[in-house]
Each structure stands twice: as structure tokens, then as C-alpha cells.
Structure 1
């Protein structure tokens, strides 16, 4: 995709953020994002054919997003396409990619004007002992980052960053030890193992909080709480600035959910780190 098409795709994706979509509706949403350059000029029948669904499904999809029907949604898609900003003069590809991340963060900030989902997720995770944190492949570093800081204030945080046959064993062990919730960080290209692990966790009785890139992620319908944060797609490999910010927002809310215990553990950590001369400053 060129930069203009990428921006149009991101605008189309924004239409679906926060929407609770069925698997069929997610297929339609993926189709519209994939064909963002021409989506505004496709008929309902053409969208149905591209997505492999029925034409009435496309109409129901538009209504699920709050539109009177597909024609109203198509008008919105055309408006998004025509309003796409032109290329900034004098900026190279790298600058545009980095500046796009500021736009992702701005949109994330707008989405966080209501913190109901973040607080609900924080309450589930803060109460779980132990607390498993799933992140495979591209999401593994972010799972480790979250786990590093979370372990300073919550006992027994278990980062699950490797797959294979042992992953289910570690989930079973966490459940047997008393875990009631799991944080799953699942980012494109959505590892099959991650999706299957979330399903297994749900079947085992875990409440699942998901940090993922959009409301049409493959785990959006499985998780109890979904916290979407867009990834940057303008470089060879994705930028995860948004998901990292969301992870730290979630951890902040978890700390707010148990302030006295968090403060006590922070003081214990600082005393231990000072005694062991862990840090230079």
C-alpha cells in the first residue's frame, strides 16, 4: 500500500473501533479495510462477493455500526476517502511513518475519554493470583515489558512468551494455582497459537483481557474485555507504540484498583533495590 491508501485504510478501520462484531461481520470489516482504496465505490453485492458472505449480511453489518443501511455506510466511506490529507511537503517516508504514530496516539487518547473498559479490565487482572500474561512472536517483547513492571507491584506475574506444547501446561498450572484472569496481547499477524490459547483459556474458566490492534481482531469476540490500539504499518515491520501505551495505561489502572497494596510493594522493592545497589541512580 502507498501512504495515501494506508491512511484511508486506517480511517476505515476507525469506523469499527469499539464495535462488537460477529465473526461474519468481522470478515466484512477486514474486506473493507483490505480494499480501502475502492471500498467507497463498491455495491453491497460486490462487498458480499469479496468477503464471501450474503448481501443481507452486509446490510446487517452496516446497521450494527449504527447506519440506516449499506448506502449510508458507503457515503461515510466516500467522505473518509475524499477527506484523506495530502502528502506533507518535504517529509520523507521515515518521517511520515513516525508522525503517523502521533496520530495513533491522538486517536487512542480520544478513545480513552471513557475509561470503563480499562477499569473493568484492570479489576479483573488486579484480582488474579497468579497473573498470566500471554504474548507470542511480535507481541512477546510487549508481554515482557508489561510483565517486568507489573511484577514490581503484583505477586506472581507469569509471562507466557513461548508457544509449543508447553504453553497449555503453563496455562493449566496458572489456573490450578488460582488464576482467574489472563492478559492476552495479540498483534498482527495474529499467531494461530495465540488465538487458540485465548480460546483454551476461556474454556478453562479464565476471564480474558485482550490488547490487540482493532475491534475486528480475530480474538475480539472471544475476550471478555478488548482494549484496541492501532499498530503502525508504514515501515517494513509494524510499530507498536499504541499497544505499548495501552499496556501502560492498563497497568496504571491496575495500580489504581489496589493503591495500598501497590504502594507497599513499591516501597519493599525500592528498599531491596537500594540494599542490593541495583541501580546507578
Structure 2
């Protein structure tokens, strides 16, 4: 089965002379508009180029794929780190013409969660939890849209542990923040397409200093995974200029819960103290607004 996405365009060109008339129409469209084709169903692609859905399926088979979904996945892998925001907007505009945005986005997020559950390696997850618990210092690194995930993970780990440092703002001084990272430390890098170059450099730097590295990313082919000791996979596909962070956030929730369960007594004591502080300083609205007393 053809799986090397880097050779996909060359493969189509190589196969082109032997394709049927209808298959050539598909090939020509993909070569010119692979960014749009990657998010079309077989039926939609067939309608767009004027052939049947079965012709599209046979085209995928002719390229060596077991079915159209495999070809579509290869196309998506090819483009996901190359599309600009403008190109993403153009694709989502075409896609949502026939789709209800609310339903299609929710369905896409549910599919991301399902795929993440299938792909996640539980042994790697458990090992990552142990590294978090055993690290001298923990640095959580991520920029752009991943910054929200970094802040979320950092916020909750800080409630359980006292050695967590967030590196998500001030891109110019990332190396200053990682200056003292060493072999007893852990660096958690978070990044999804389009991958932040600064996050990748931070992973490379941390690895060179002997630190353990955990990455939360979308694929073992992610550039972050190159410098990782433990790679946790969360799918983030979305036909939009907006990044889908639902599955990555769910994975992070699982990490926090797992760490909390390992430190059960400490976590309970911490939250008992916090509840007293929150109530004393009116951090939350503890009074029932319907209570007239």
C-alpha cells in the first residue's frame, strides 16, 4: 500500500498515462487543487470533476491505496503543515457551503476524539505520567494556538506539584527561560500544525541539555516528535482556519487526572487548603443568589 505522502504527487504523475479517462480527470484536479481535494468525500470529488464515486474509489486503488479514505488521509498529511490561514479559509468556505457549521465541527471533533482513543499508546502515557512525577523541574512549552493548552496544563499541574514552569509567552526569551534545564528535568512540548518553529527549537535545545522530553502532538511524523522521549498523539484535523484542540485538551485532562490520582493525598490536602482560601477571599460566588438570608 502506498503510504509515503512525500511521493504522492510524483506517483500520480507516474501513473497518469495508464489511467482511464475519468481517472485522469481526478488526477488533474488533485494535482492542481490537492488542498481542496483532501477534504472532499469520494462522492463530492466525483461530482466536482464529473465522474462517479466508484471511479474515485478505483482511482485510489490504482494508486495502491486500499480505499479512498486512505488516499484522503495521505492528501491531508501532505498539506496540513503547509496551508496558510487564507487557504484554510478558502477551503472551509467551500466545505461549509453544503454543511451546517455547528454539526460538521462537532462531528469533526468527535471523530478526532475517537481517532485519538484508538491511536494513544497507554504504555507511553503511563511512562509520561511517571516522568512528570519524578522530574526535578517541569517546563511546559508551546506557542501560537497551543499556548492555550500550555496554560491549561500548567494551571492544573501547578495545583498538584510545586515545580512547574510555563514557557508560552515572550518567544524571544524562550531560551532564557530554559537556561537551567538539565538532565533531571522534564520538558513538555505541545504543538500542532502549523508547528511553531520556536517550539521545535526549544525541544531540540532541551534534548541537547539532557532533559527528558514529552511531546503532545498530532503524529509520530511531527517535527516535535524528532526530539521526544515520549510522544503522546492527539488528532487535530479540522476543515477550517481554526485549530481543533478538543482531543489534545482531553488528552491533557487525562494527564492531569492521572498525576492527581498518583498524588492523591497531596492533591486532596492542596484542594482542601485552596477551598478555604477561595472562600475567605471570595474567589467564587459561594452564596446562593436565591438565599434571602
Which stretch shows the higher mean deviation, 267-276 or 196-205? 267-276
From 244, 248, 267, the equivalent of 1:262 is: 267
Structure 2 stretches of 5 or more lacking a match? 16-30, 32-60, 73-94, 287-293
1:157-208 per-residue CA deviation (whole Å, 9 max, x = no partner) reads 21101244421111124x27x9511111112111111101000001111101
Q: 1:137–1:191: 8 Å Cα contact kept in structure 2?
A: yes
Matched, 1:76 2:76: no
CA distance in 2, matches of 1:130, 1:223: 17
Match of 1:250 in 2: 255
Q: 1:118–1:253: 8 Å Cα contact kept in structure 2?
A: no
Q: 1:153–1:262: 8 Å Cα contact kept in structure 2?
A: yes
From 209, 212, 218, the equivalent of 1:213 is: 218
1:89-136 per-residue CA deviation (whole Å, 9 max, x = no partner) reads x84244212211111111222334x52111111111122233211011
Superposition deviation, residue 251 in structure 1: 1.4
Match of 1:139 in 2: 146
SS at match of 2:244: coil
1:132-157 per-residue CA deviation (whole Å, 9 max, x = no partner) reads 11011121111011111111111132
Q: 1:210–1:226: 8 Å Cα contact kept in structure 2?
A: yes
The higher relative CO (CA closer than 8 Å, separation ≥ 6) is in 1
CA distance in 2, matches of 1:30, 1:188: 17
Match of 1:157 in 2: 164
Matched, 1:99 2:99: no
CA distance in 1, matches of 2:5, 2:70: 15
CA distance in 1, matches of 2:6, 2:191: 16
Superposition deviation, residue 233 in structure 1: 2.0
CA distance in 1, matches of 2:6, 2:231: 17
Structure 1 stretches of 5 or more lacking a match? 1-11, 17-27, 44-49, 51-70
Match of 2:34 in 1: none
CA distance in 1, matches of 2:241, 2:69: 29
Q: TM-score, normalised by structure 2?
A: 0.65
Q: 1:131–1:157: 8 Å Cα contact kept in structure 2?
A: yes
Count of aligned positions? 221
From 103, 115, 118, the equivalent of 1:110 is: 118
Superposition deviation, residue 74 in structure 1: 2.8
Structure with higher Rg: it is 2
Match of 2:209 in 1: 204
Q: 1:125–1:183: 8 Å Cα contact kept in structure 2?
A: no
Match of 1:120 in 2: 127
CA distance in 2, matches of 1:31, 1:247: 34
CA distance in 2, matches of 1:40, 1:106: 31
CA distance in 2, matches of 1:42, 1:97: 36
CA distance in 1, matches of 2:14, 2:273: 60
Q: 1:122–1:253: 8 Å Cα contact kept in structure 2?
A: yes
Match of 1:229 in 2: 234
Q: 2:65–2:71: 8 Å Cα contact kept in structure 1?
A: no
